[in-house]
Homo-oligomer: A and B are copies of this chain.
Amino acid sequence: MAKTKTIKKIKPLDNLSLVDKVELRLVAFIKENNLVPGDAFPKELELVESLGVSRTVVREASLRLRTLGIIESKKHRGMILTQPDFIDNFERVLDPKLLGNETLKNLFELRLILEMGMADSLFARKTQKGIDELEQIVEADEKQGVDDSIFSLEHEIQFHGKLYQMSGNVTLQRFQVLLLPIFEFVHEQEELSKDHVKGSIINHRNLLDNLKIGTPETFRSAMRTHLDPHFYRIL
């Protein structure tokens, strides 16, 4: 355990404010004492006394832990440890306008990586209900006469979103919902090379058929071809 922890980037101590230090101290305190969600967190006054810092500093550091969802206040119980919803924290900073271009590109590539990698989860947990719903999405697209060579953002989101859902991994699924604005943002900014798209095409219907009768291996191969215009642009 100790070995890995050292891999983490460590900020030079000089750059840390007093509040930073108290925040780190409080997190260390939680770990050292093996506190788990539901356990009581020390009272403000106790912390002021044991840490030897002002009430303002303690309050500011505690507020950070509250913001991060590590502690929360309960009526008549003071502060208690809580189970942080790590995706929720994430969500609050994932505004494409605030993220750098490099991060946006990396996140878009992450989407491709996830969709290439999720085949096993998908095949292990697919249900007839899921297949039927996917069928409806594809049929609706076909009725609308969508040109296969054009990626319609809305259809992409519907179809691929359903795949994430069918993977049965709630964390993965929430991650995708969260990343959607990023995908849209990148999608809007970049134009797909139509010439390239017109090569070998695997459309949503082909993917669905593959999901019905294929294997994770054949599905990955089909998905790779389906995503090829994106890979071509990025790699």
Contact = CB atoms under 8 A, between A and B. Distances in A.
Contact of A118 (B92, B107, B113, B224): B113
Chain A binding surface, main DSSP class: helix
Contacts of A177: 7-8
B97 A68 contact: no
Contacts of A100: 83
Given A37-B98, A64-B63, A98-B36, A180 B4 contact: yes
Given A98-B81, A180-B4, A109 B67 contact: no
Contact of A99 (B84, B93, B110, B169): B84
A152 interface: no
A109 B172 CA distance: 9
Contacts of A114: 113-114, 117
A27 B171 contact: no
A38 B60 CA distance: 24
B68 A89 contact: yes
A69 interface: yes
A103 B86 contact: yes
Interface in A104-149: 106-107, 109-110, 112-121, 124-125
B117 A169 contact: no
A220 interface: yes
A224 B36 contact: no
A117 B112 CA distance: 7
A110 B4 contact: no
Contact of A121 (B37, B97, B113): B113
Nearest 9 pairs of A and B residues by beta carbon: A117-B117, A106-B171, A113-B117, A116-B117, A124-B235, A84-B93, A64-B67, A67-B67, A86-B93
Interface of A: 1, 3-5, 7-8, 27, 30-31, 34, 36-37, 60, 63-64, 67-70, 81, 83-84, 86, 89-95, 97-100, 102-103, 106-107, 109-110, 112-121, 124-125, 154, 157, 169-172, 175, 177, 180-181, 184, 216-217, 220-221, 224, 231, 235
